[in-house]
Amino acid sequence: MSQIQAILPPDSIASTKQEYVDLEQAYWQRTTPIGIVFTFGTVMAFVVGTVIVFQILSTDVNDHMSEYATFKAMGYRDRYLLAIVLEEAIILATLGFIPGLALALGQYALIRNVAALPIAMTFSRFWLVFFLTVVMCIVSGLIATRRLQSADPADNF
């Protein structure tokens, strides 16, 4: 590849097909307005999802504060209580991901048919979105459990 680049004019780029695809994707994601809007939309979806899951988990923690305080009175540590909330967060992530995936697959099919764009849910994109969903829910769970550390059994009875 370096030999070909040496022959070409200085403003030319020699690349493999995959390098060209990577350059094009980077251009569309980082330079064009549509790429910036999609990136911003992804970040905002993550933030909004975190807030919504936080509200769900925070409400659940508040509704069961007396049970958590009882666990603390029985000698359970904050880590155990955190594990309970994080387990719930992972369950929420998994159960929320399933209908979200179905909707996304439907949108991919619609866009593919209507706009004739070659778009598909790749294996790597599937796992990236699932991973980010789990991270989003775990972050929400960590924030929601801050109040558990100050749970006092005497305050609830």
Question: Highest-confidence range of 13-17, 58-62, 64-68, 119-123, by mean pLDDT?
Answer: 58-62
pLDDT-derived band at 109, boundaries 50, 70, 90: very high
Number of domains in the chain: 1
151: number of Cβ within 10 Å: 21
Higher confidence at residue 35 or residue 86? Answer: 86
Distance in angstroms (rounded) separating the CA atoms of residues 26 and 29 = 5
Q: Which helix (H) or strand (E) holds 30?
A: helix 17-30
Under DSSP, is residue 121 helix (H, G, I), strand (E, B) or coil? coil
Which domain covers residue 63, as residue numbers? 2-6+15-156
Using 50, 70 and 90 to split pLDDT, how confident is the model at 58?
very high
pLDDT at 107 over 70: yes
This prediction has a pTM of 0.76
Of the listed ranges 55-59, 75-79, 94-98, 131-135, the one predicted with least confidence:
75-79
Residue 66 has pLDDT above 80, yes or no: yes
